[in-house]
Amino acid sequence: MPAYEIQERTPRPALAIRLHTSVADIPSTLAVALPEVWHAAEAMGLVPDGPPFTRYLSMPGDALDYEAGVPLPIAASAGRGRAVPVELPGGTVAVAWHVGPYETLAETYDALMRWIGEQGRAVAGPMWEVYWSDPAAEPDPSRWRTEVIVPVA
């Protein structure tokens, strides 16, 4: 079982592409969007300031809205192509580390949501994932590390 903790985060500037797709198509859309947003940041003269993320703007259903992006060291004044400036929010968050394939992330979310309730807290905004492992560099999915972040009140 993953360890959970409550943290305080400061807002972070980022560059992201907003997407609307089915849950089943998330892997294929991310495979295109994450390199695209990374290259857009570099073309703007900005070096991404950390690993890529996906921020879910609507709860999973048949289709969902989400952002695929990279954090930046400074806020971008404009976008490039589909990539636009956004901000990862600050505030109080619950954090869990998921180690393993993306297909089992739902188990980590379910356990984290139960833990949040046990702490007397509630979800207070869109949640996001930070991908600390690059599947191209680490081919073994059992070793992939994903940080799951949920704003809470």
Spell out the domain ranges in the chain.
4-151
CB 97, CB 105: distance < 8 Å: no
Q: What is the pLDDT of residues 37-60, one digit of tens each?
A: 999 999 999 999 999 999 999 876
Q: What is the pLDDT of residue 63?
A: 82
Q: Which residue has the higher pLDDT, 63 or 28?
A: 28
How would you classify residue 32: left for phi > 0, otherwise alpha for psi between -120 and 50, otherwise beta?
A: alpha
Q: How confident is the model at residue 124 (pLDDT cuts 50, 70, 90)?
A: very high
> Where do we find the tokens 């609307």?
20
Q: How many CA atoms lie less than 13 Å away from 15 in the CB half-sphere?
A: 30
Residue type, 9: R
pTM surpassing 0.75? yes
Q: What is the pLDDT of residue 40?
A: 96
Mean pLDDT, residues 49-75: 90
Domain 4-151 has CATH 3.20.80.10: yes
Residue type, 54: T
